[in-house]
Amino acid sequence: MNEPVPIPRVLVEALRGARAITVLTGSGVSAESGVPTFRDAQTGLWARYDPADLATPEAFGRDPKLVWKWYEWRRKLVREAAPNQGHFALAELERRAPRFTLVTQNVDGLHRRAGSGDVIELHGNITRSKCSVENAIVEDYDPEGAPPVCPNCGAPLRSDVVWFGEALPADALRAASDAARACDLFFSVGTSGVVQPAASLPFEALRGGATVVEVNPDDTPLTRSADYALRGKAGEVLPALVAAVRDSV
């Protein structure tokens, strides 16, 4: 068993007294569920591809079959993955806080499977497919195709995620930005803080006067601006935070 994660007393008090908590997560929160982060080396057939190259409209236009197969591989990984203690801790934190908003960059749906309610999926959800022309979600299609085609217009289907170079859903981004500015406690968990505009959210929280806490085994561009940098894995630090709050009543 790893050493217990030291949680500063003043942070426990801030958690207990928080009026509104906003959390931003990245792929690090799903790492302990066996879902590779964007920076982890991809395995097998996909080892030679850079996710940032595949997750683009250009890649899909150039080779729709390759991109569809990549998403099928990731969808299988996600289906076989289970939420970890970090996901469950965030769901418990939501139940304890007067106001709580979970903003995720992840497309794996694991927060909702762990019981989180108010989840803003900034970059979509890999388990949904949509028509690449009409953008309508398509649930029933002939799985034989690679990619399958839209039953309505015949265009290739694609994963319902936001690719590099694509705009984020405006309503999701606005809600995330509002939640960052309005909270008094902001957590950035398991994200390298590189991809924009999500990476700006912790800084919006700082400008809004929030206390910002980073949970990550490594330094990121946010680290030196954060009020607290808890060095560790989400699956260890988040349960320790929730336990400290639970035990402090």
Q: CB of residue 61 vs ligand BV8: minimum separation in angstroms?
A: 15
User: Which residue ranges make up the site for ligand BV8 (CB under 6 A)?
Assistant: 26-29, 31-32, 37-39, 52, 55, 105, 107, 123, 161-167, 190-192, 194-198, 216-218, 220, 233-235
Cα dihedral 235, 236, 237, 240 sign: positive
Angle between the 85-96 and 234-247 helix axes, to the nearest 10 degrees? 30
Nearer to ligand BV8, 206 or 230 (CB): 230
Catalytic residue, chosen from 87, 111, 123, 158, is 123
Residue 156: CA count within 13 A, CB half-sphere: 16
* Known active-site residue 87: no
Give the pair of three-digit tokens for residue 174: 């606005």
Nearer to ligand BV8, 100 or 187 (CB): 187
Q: CB of residue 123 vs ligand BV8: minimum separation in angstroms?
A: 4
Give the pair of three-digit tokens for residue 29: 């929160």
Nearer to ligand BV8, 233 or 245 (CB): 233
Nearer to ligand BV8, 80 or 219 (CB): 219
Q: What is d(CA 176, CA 16) in angstroms, rounded to the nearest whole number?
A: 22
Give the pair of three-digit tokens for residue 114: 């762990």
Question: What residues form DSSP beta bridges with 149?
Answer: 156
Question: What residues form DSSP beta bridges with 20?
Answer: 99
Q: CB of residue 209 vs ligand BV8: minimum separation in angstroms?
A: 24
Q: CB of residue 98 vs ligand BV8: minimum separation in angstroms?
A: 26
Side chain identity at residue 96, one-letter code: R
Residue nearest to ligand BV8 (CB): 28
Active site members: 123
